Every structure is written in structure tokens, then in C-alpha cells.
Amino acid sequence: MSKHTVLPAEITSLLSAAGSRRAFLRHSAAGALAAGALAACKPDSSAMAAQLSKQDSDHSGGTNAPHPAVPALSKTDEMDRLHEAGIKAFPAKTEGMGNVLLAPRMEGDIKVYDLTAAPVQWEIEPGKRVNAWVYNGQLPGPQIRVREGDRVRINVKNNLEESTAMHFHGLEVPNDQDGVPYITQAPIKPGGSHTYEFTVPNAGSHMYHSHHNAAKQVGLGLLGAFIVEPRRPRAIEKVDVDSVMILNDGFHGYTLNGKSFPATQPIVAKLGQKVRVRFMNEGMMIHPMHLHGMHMTVIDKDGWPQPAPWKCDTLNIAPGERWDVIVNCNNPGVWAFHCHILPHAESEHGMFGMVTALIVEK
């Protein structure tokens, strides 16, 4: 590189991140291989397993130059081995899963949700544990899914070392339920609790998260999806797979639903099915999410229908935004699905961070 070359800050950051990642991967990739990483694949990704094992047989074929077996791998082969190990490990087993649907307790006609904020150790990817602050022990917090017009009560217990509060991002609740300390309520002190209650006012893909010391608290994981199903769904909303993809980029690195590749979970559909993806950005950076092989039809912004659906393959999601898209799964295969800020998705040691796949099974 020329000595005049300007290195934007993000590249510098990438290089140092790659450094620590390198050390981590030297350790973990060997372990993943030794443990037989394909065994970690979940049943619903059988199509991928089949496809990956077909790839195995291609590695020394085609028109590539032959590679004599030598005791020490070349730098290139070592790089490729790490790339392959990441792919083969996907979807890698880790402890804990977030965004699990939370069934309400019914108290009369009221749907009651109990959410406890507390610190946990969270496994972001195999062997990488981080300090997280989460609801009910999971990152993202449990998924709340209700219907427009439901009466809901949310009991928040604070087991953190500092005060907190809960904001229902996108829901047009009465002001005293808005969760902003010293504007709409007192903060919830450590050991304390607070109850929110309201009639769900508007449909769409919304979020709940801390609104106290939020750059830290949301960054550490105090967040979750709050999905409101409409009373009268539109025809375009009738889908076979309804998925949530929460983007984050804070203290835990680059994650989708609280996990980094290869520990992210694929979206799986059958050929001909329709998939809805509800993108939600809880981070501090934009993430233009790119789907391979098929386009996305954008239907909603922040839970509100767009005047007319429109198509794209790369959708820029800014912090606080939600975008809902529909994918008509008409192209079979394992399709990469990732943030197109490439240093959020790929290093010299293969894909990491904000990478998953949409698997369309024949």
C-alpha cells in the first residue's frame, strides 16, 4: 500500500479486530474441527448439510490447480481451511437462545408478561462468552407477540446493579407508560420493579428496550421484539415463515439475534413458500442487509405499511428502524444473507458476525 494511502477509521478498527479474531480462531477453529462441527447442524438445515457435503467432493476437482498433501499448509490453504471451518460449523451450537416466544399469563382479560433484567454470561459464538445484561436470561429478550387491541401488563423486575426503565419503541402508548425516567416515571432502582399496562394501540414490528443509561444498557442486551399482529392482516402478510432479525453491533461485536456467525440461526423454508423477515436495528450503526439469490419485497416501515410494496436485494437498516420484507422462496439452495458492510461479515479467517443463510429446500 502506498504511504499516501488514507486508512479510514473503520479499516483501522477492522485490522485490530482481525487481530483479536485471529487469536480466537486459531483456538476455536481447531476445536470445531476436532469436535466434528457438522454434527452441530440442526435438523432443519438438512438441505445445507447435504449441500455442504457435496461441496466436499469438489474441493480438489474442477479446474483448480492440484494441491499436493504436505505436512504444513500454505498460508492460502490455512486461510481457506478457516473459511471452510466457519461454514461447516454453521449453524454452530452455543449455549442459550434468544427471542423465544413468551406465552403470557392471563389475569382476566389481561395478558401478563414478567420480565427480569439481570446480568448473564452469554455465548455469542462457540467458546466466546461475553458479559450481557438481558431480560429473562436470554439475548434478545423473549419475544412478545400480541394482537392490536389486546390489554397487556408487563412486570419489570430490576436485578441489575443500576436503575433501569422500559420503553416500548414504536408503540403509541399513553405518556405515563412510555418508560423515560424523570419524564414519564421514576427509574426502577436495583431490586425494584415496575408495572406497565396498556391497550396495544398499533400493529407492526416494534421493540422493547431500556431507556435509562441506554447506550450502555441496550448495548449490553436489554432489548427484545414486541410484535403486534393486526386485527385485519393484509393478503401480503399471509406467510409460511415469520422471522425476526435483530441487528446489533455494540459491546458484543456484530450479531444477529444475539449470536455471531457461525452461531447464527438460518431461516429455513420450502420451495414456493413465503418468508417474512422483520429487521430491527438495536445497534449504533447502519447495516445494509443483503440477501443472495432472491429479492426482498419491502412492505412495512416501523410497523406502518409502505404506500406500495417495493423490491430490493440490499436493505439499509438504521438504528431504531424496523423494516418488514417478504421473500418469495422461488430459488432453491443455501443463500448467504449478511450485512454488506463487509468488515461486519468477513475477515481473513472467513465469515463472522452478521452472517446467516436463507435455506430454500426443494
Residue 14 Cβ vs a second copy, minimum distance, rounded to whole Å: 6
Restricted to residues 50-79, the positions that interact with a second copy (CB under 8 A) are 51-52, 55, 58-59, 61-65, 67, 75-76, 79
d(CA 150, CA 167): 18
Site for a second copy contains 154 (CB under 8 A): no
Tell me how many degrees the CA angle 175-179-181 measures, rounded to the nearest 5.
Answer: 105
Half-sphere CA count of 208, side-chain side, radius 13 A: 29
Within positions 318 to 357, which residues make up the interface with a second copy, using CB under 8 A? Answer: 318-322, 331-336, 340-343, 345-348, 357
Cell numbers for 115: 420480565
Interface with a second copy (CB under 8 A), residue from 215, 233, 234, 271: 215
Number of chain residues interacting with a second copy (CB under 8 A)? 129
Which cell is 310 given? 417495493
Q: Does 95 bind a second copy (CB under 8 A)?
A: no
Strand order across the beta sheet in which 333-339 lies: 267-270, 355-361, 333-339, 287-291, 314-317
Residues 176, 185: contact at Cβ < 8 Å? Answer: yes
107 binds a second copy (CB under 8 A): no
The DSSP bridge pattern shows strands 144-147 and 128-135 to be unpaired
Please identify which residue in 11, 30, 73, 101 interacts with a second copy, judged by CB under 8 A.
Answer: 11
Q: Closer CB to a second copy, residue 144 or residue 334? A: 334
- Residue 329 beta carbon to a second copy: minimum distance, rounded to whole angstroms: 12
* 100 vs 114, beta carbon nearer a second copy: 114
Under the criterion CB under 8 A, does residue 214 sit at the interface with a second copy? yes
DSSP-assigned letters across all residues of 25-71: HHHHHHHHHHTTGGGG--GGGHHHHHHHHHHHHHTT-TTSPP----S
H/E segment holding residue 257:
none
Judged by CB under 8 A, the stretch of 100-108, 112-120, 192-200, 226-234 that binds a second copy is 192-200
Provide the grid cell at 162.
Answer: 443500576
CA triple 167-276-53, angle to 5 deg: 120
Residue type, 243: S
Instruction: Tell me if 259 contacts a second copy by CB under 8 A.
Output: no
| 222 neighbors 282 (Cβ within 8 angstroms) | no
Q: Return the residues of window 27-46 that contact a second copy according to CB under 8 A.
A: none
Beta bridge partners of 164: 188
| C-beta separation of 299 from 325 below 8 A | yes
Nearer to a second copy, 16 or 240 (CB): 16
Residue 114 neighbours by CB distance under 10 Å: 17
Please report how close the Cβ of residue 155 comes to a second copy at its closest, in angstroms: 9
Q: Which residue has the cell 392471563?
A: 106
Smaller CB separation from a second copy, 95 or 176: 176
If the CB atoms of residues 79 and 100 are measured against a second copy, the closer one turns out to be 79
CB of 168 to a second copy, least distance (A): 9
Binding flag, residue 294, a second copy (CB under 8 A): yes
26 binds a second copy (CB under 8 A): no
Question: Judged by CB under 8 A, does residue 180 bind a second copy?
Answer: yes
Where do the DSSP E strands lie in 64-143? 105-107, 110-125, 128-135
Q: How far is the CB of 92 from a second copy (least distance, A)?
A: 14
Site string for a second copy, 216-255 (x = CB under 8 A): x-xx-----------------------------xxxxxx-
Among 169, 259, 274, 278, binds a second copy (CB under 8 A): 169
Q: Is 316 in the site for a second copy (CB under 8 A)?
A: yes
